[in-house]
Structure 1
């Protein structure tokens, strides 16, 4: 089987599926551009544990892990089947490399089901989730991706879901797209340039080297999934970039595809 690409998705606000002003169609176009996977292993910013955990749910529930949004959003269900065999295989691979990984039931949080609803609206691609470790660094998550590489030759697409910039404290929900803070572009340009150059060392050290890193990510759980996707990529990956814009002044949305050269 052809080796699948790995992806990083900026999942935006939970309202992405119901807000016509947000970039929904681009997720569908991205789905059409990448090979269809047998299953997906999703690392979302919204499931964090001290040590890795993999969800073995056969039918993961749709978790509405937010509050204060329109009722319409809470009525959405995303009934994708689980992929417990993928979860157990991921746990096996990580355990063999000294990263003990629990297996347990877990539903799909909004970092998982929101982008998957837009990419695979028929909910017909099995999904397993693997937790991130918010207390550990990008290098840990890069290593997790490296260890999981064999899955991509087995028809499993590794997807990290977070946000390329994520500073809710500075968000202005009345801002127009043209009101974007210029520091957002400086950060995303740096990140994209280093990704295109495959400068792994600089990327893993982004908190020291990237401009305005602490402003863009006061805590880095929303960026950690990109390092897992990067780790899963081929050494000579070809970078695909889907820039979706900046919203609420400080929240940029960019999707990355780490494809085969």
Structure 2
């Protein structure tokens, strides 16, 4: 079992190395469902014109871009610790001419460089299982979201019903690292994915973690037979 510092260094190296092929591999590992999951999430979030968002572990910026477009002119910030990922994301933003609305920042999800009560939404997509301290990250998300605002996590999860569960774990633990080797010559990096999920809380346990940091009206939605999950929690209006 890695300590927090070792995990952080390892995950950073993984994502720095796979950045150019990250979008393609997301299609593969999610059975091409990750875009549908994100559309479902955006419907549940119901972002309004002018609302502000912070997207943690933003990677190559797809969700950051979706949040910006949904808000019209709302200020949108993407944060990630991988410079290579951010460079890919910045190229997308520049191509769409959204540089004034979207800011990308290299930083740590456990120590956010923002004041309390700064954003209407704080999101994290396929990144929470990679942070060394999940609770610390959720507390930081809650700190910087406005009272009445929402923290949102879209993440891979753990199927519970057979035979799908057995098939999925075979795919995830045995086939996926081989696919990483075939498609992007990165066997070791894609072996990290099943390892990262093994110790990650399941649907109900993650909902309890949301409640433990003080989020209210917590909703948890299993997606595609539990392969992924969406969690949304609301910060109390008194800011606690």
TM-score, length basis structure 2: 0.39
The structure with higher relative contact order (CA 8 Å, sep 6+) is 1
TM-score by length of 1: 0.36
